[in-house]
């Protein structure tokens, strides 16, 4: 339903026609280009990433593991002035061990 009364609103129609004419000189921005997302385009990227990961996994240097510090023996020894001292030793194996004190061998 149009409500523009031609005779009554002629001045308004003229006003808006002039406004439209002025606006026609204004350039609208370009309609944005819509990028279409194609999921299949990610497949080669995925394959390449997997190959790089695999290559890195198989070619990386394995860390050198030493057995020097596998076992730590802490002993408490009596020094020259009867003071107690901690003695820390490290070894790769524990074949024999003697208690430095007799306390552990004593039956109570």
Question: What is the binding site for another protein (CB under 8 A)?
Answer: 1-4, 9, 11-13, 15-16, 18-20, 22-23, 26, 28-29, 31-32, 34
Element (H, E) at 18: helix 10-23
Closest separation between CB of residue 10 and another protein, Å? Answer: 10
Nearer to another protein, 19 or 53 (CB): 19
Count of positions (residues) in the chain = 108
Q: Is 20 helix (H, G, I), strand (E, B) or coil?
A: helix
What CA–CA distance (Å, rounded) separates 20 from 13? Answer: 10
Closest separation between CB of residue 3 and another protein, Å? Answer: 5
Nearer to another protein, 11 or 83 (CB): 11
Closest separation between CB of residue 35 and another protein, Å? Answer: 10
Closest separation between CB of residue 43 and another protein, Å? Answer: 23
Nearer to another protein, 20 or 69 (CB): 20
* SS3 sequence of 56-82: HHHHCCCCCCCCCCCEEEEEEEECCCC
Nearer to another protein, 32 or 46 (CB): 32
């Amino acid at each position: 339903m149009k409500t523009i009364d031609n005779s009554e609103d002629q001045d308004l129609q003229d006003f808006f026609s002039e406004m439209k004419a002025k606006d026609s000189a204004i350039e609208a921005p370009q309609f944005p280009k819509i990028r279409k997302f194609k999921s299949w385009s990610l497949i080669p990227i995925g394959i390449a990433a997997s190959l790089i990961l695999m290559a890195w996994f198989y070619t990386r240097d394995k860390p050198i593991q030493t057995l020097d510090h596998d076992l730590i023996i802490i002993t408490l020894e009596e020094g020259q002035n009867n003071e107690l001292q901690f003695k820390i030793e490290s070894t790769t194996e524990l074949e024999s061990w003697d208690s430095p004190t007799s306390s552990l061998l004593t039956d109570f």
